[in-house]
Structure 1
């Protein structure tokens, strides 16, 4: 039999339903206004790896998802009739956040390219990023460029919960927004015109929810990063970049040998889509370019790192990149300590070790691809890590040395497209 509906319950439901509709209609109206107000500062980012979204902050920086930047050296965007070239000043792989700044632009032709200071776009945006708290079923709106189209779109949804995904200490907002390809890095607003975070990913594995889960990297993480990106930080970026001494990389001036990296057994080299990958099958080993007479060289490669989880030993998971190797008692290297999520430079001279901190420092994590490039010219060295200038030294203890990579307690290490260039002259 059918159970009768009590009149009081029926009346209550009739009263609540219009209220819910009214609230949703009000939110839709608010989000329409937010879209109109901020659509001109939500930008389409393009680089060698694809297209993504981002937004301009009041300080003149561009915020996007770290995976949108990838291993590309730079990104580009169109803003207010100008075509900008962007560089990265900070990356947080764990929280999937990248901070970019403009380095120059042109209007009609690249021949008219003009360099600009990092804060050239300061004051152009009114978007605020704060530490706001969210409640379940709060209405939200994503703005971005789905499928890489050239017109910004808005996508409505609801906030569900704060979860810990990928790594135990990485909080993300779980939402029901359809994060379409091309929208990654786009800002997600609440109905108070506040950016609650950036779209980073949608769930591809089965879940026990009745909605498609997407993830937003919280604004509170962005706000913490932005506190450290001040005038002094950007001065350091500029100083390190200017002090990295390069050399003429035209074909006429370069010896471009195929790197003959000698590796331990159980490695595999594969070629896929024109890229060469060197994959290790041991948790410890080395690769080396054994020419201790190298005076000047430019080395460029991508490297994917995944450390061992639940190790049965206290041994450290680390990767050591040798920048100048004379012998076991004399070398200079960059050490990536995967257990401490940090990196530093090691100077070993006559068997004695000293360490130097990078001039620009960011956290590192496992299960991530990094880009690495360095120049050595006699007694000088300059290092770009993740396409950000992080270190230089013009007074090295020796002027020649071989190259190499050593790793320990790593589940997987993949080196991609090693480029080694030696100048004929300066």
Structure 2
């Protein structure tokens, strides 16, 4: 899932704490297999973030595993979860028995991977074939220890507001919308071209804010903020600078609504056509649904989901469930984490929160059995995302990837959409922040 940092200071503290720590330096299936046996009672704490769709699954697991009680804590965003996780790693205590780790900060986690148990000791290698190859590999550290059960991955389609499109004279049928953007040949040039047409017709913004569009662009590159061998890859990166120019031009033309990430005016911007399109990896469908609810809206607001994405296939986000070495019940915790990531449970989580499964069986089931999502005009979102996931391979994420996204480029992108800097000034600000915040 996506990460979001509220303040630079919080990230800097968490990153410094994790660095200081470096310097000083499951066998469940079927009903879960996590029952304690006898009269022993075990309480397992779980910390997740955002919308992961586990709530009903916790109740099911408790009912099927007598003696297990789950105490769940959910952090509002991936960025705040990152800060919480690294603060507790640095303190050497406080982590839950099961901790959700986000793909965007997995590189930093791998620098302190011995904080988490090797799940091969609890049978994860027996399930290796369950997952996409690259997903299983993502959860494996440099020594071959596997520290995470894969939950979701982030193939993306395009969310759009049909009444807003209609007001601009654009088609509203999702198949026609996909063709409008170019279908399999959809490009960012076409996306922004349509945005300018929409802006001229309605006077309204085309998308919510620069950060999410930029993140999508970066994730489509073979190498993003880091090269595949772990070297920083920002300064002198022609592909990044080209895309930054696209964002700068779009900002100058008023295509961004300059929304606050993760807020959207309390969700009201989803209900009043403040913007017309929204980049949607699977897990973001749950975010949109939650935003609509917060803003007092629902299916009647007219959001839909098209089988298209500018620039082609992309993976944005995804998470893992890990068990810290400080857990007093590692076997039971691993059994719970394993069960939560089995195909049947991944489908339940997807239906609850839009988190697209990383297991092959669950993906195949969703592709073969489309179910309508009422929030998105009954779009067959599972089938669409299954198709959008074809050929997707997650980009390597370095230790400060999420810091670069939010705290290096975030302020620069915001200045662009507020008209406080031109392209050259904003890029230079990002380079300056990179030098201040990221170990070179």
Q: Which has the higher strand share?
A: 1
Higher relative contact order (CA 8 A, sep 6+): 2
TM-score in terms of structure 1 length: 0.28
Q: Which has the higher helix share?
A: 2
Greater radius of gyration (CA):
1
